[in-house]
């Protein structure tokens, strides 16, 4: 038999987890009936598992990589060949876009804009195509890379004419 308080809140459609949880803590004998009423199954975990799960959530691929791939996919889907990244920081997205894809509309111009000059110095380095034994980044199409000290809030004619604008993790 269930607790009338829990049953009434379920019927009225307004059970709050805090109220239900508090009531179940105060009446532990009601937990089993509440769980069975809702058709739920109790999941038992070892203490070690709970600690392990609570320490750090992990994603695969990592979230930073998912965000960059999504941005790249959107850019490709809209046939953008020039991209400006506001709040580029140390050039994380720029360094990702430097790599030429096999798409029909390759990116040929990228720009990064940030208010922090010290981070722009790093962006200028990280966004350069890498050199390999066979040549620089093996790009077929030339790539123009521009780094600007500025803000999206301050109009600047140098930042006009891009096909796509990105603003990740700002």
Question: By CB neighbour count within 10 A (0-12 exposed, 13-18 middle, 19+ buried), where does 111 fall?
Answer: buried
If one counts every other C-beta atom within 10 angstroms of the C-beta of residue 108, the result is 14
Place of tokens 């949880």: 21
Place of tokens 């996919």: 73
Q: What is the pLDDT of residue 12?
A: 47
CATH class of 63-166: alpha beta
Q: Note the pTM of the prediction, 2 decimals.
A: 0.62
Q: How far is CA 102 from the centre of its chain?
A: 24
Q: What is the pLDDT of residue 129?
A: 76
Q: What is the pLDDT of residue 91?
A: 96
Q: What is the DSSP string of 122-143?
A: HHHHHTSPPEETTEETT-SS--
In 3D, which of 163, 166, 10 has the Cα closest to residue 91? Answer: 166
Domain ranges of the chain: 4-43, 63-166
Q: What is the pLDDT of residue 11?
A: 46
Place of tokens 């604008």: 165
Cα–Cα distance, 129 to 30 (Å, whole number): 64
- Chunked into runs of 10 residues, the chain (170 residues) has average pLDDT values of 47 49 60 56 53 70 92 94 97 91 88 97 89 64 94 92 94
Tokens matching residue 99: 């790599």
């Amino acid at each position: 038999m269930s607790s009338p308080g829990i049953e009434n809140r379920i019927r009225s459609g307004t059970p709050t987890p805090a109220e239900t949880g508090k009531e179940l803590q105060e009446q532990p004998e009601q937990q089993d009936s509440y769980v069975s009423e809702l058709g739920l199954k109790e999941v038992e975990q070892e203490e070690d598992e709970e600690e392990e799960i609570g320490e750090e959530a992990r994603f695969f691929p990592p979230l930073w990589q998912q965000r960059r791939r999504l941005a790249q996919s959107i850019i490709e889907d809209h046939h953008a060949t020039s991209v400006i990244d506001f709040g580029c920081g140390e050039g994380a997205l720029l360094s990702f876009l430097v790599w030429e894809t096999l798409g029909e509309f390759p990116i040929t111009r990228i720009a990064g804009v940030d208010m922090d000059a010290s981070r722009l110095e790093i962006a200028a380095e990280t966004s350069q195509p890498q050199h390999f034994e066979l040549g620089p980044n093996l790009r077929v199409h030339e790539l123009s890379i521009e780094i600007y000290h500025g803000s999206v809030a301050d109009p600047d004619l140098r930042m006009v004419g891009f096909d796509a604008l990105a603003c990740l993790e700002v």
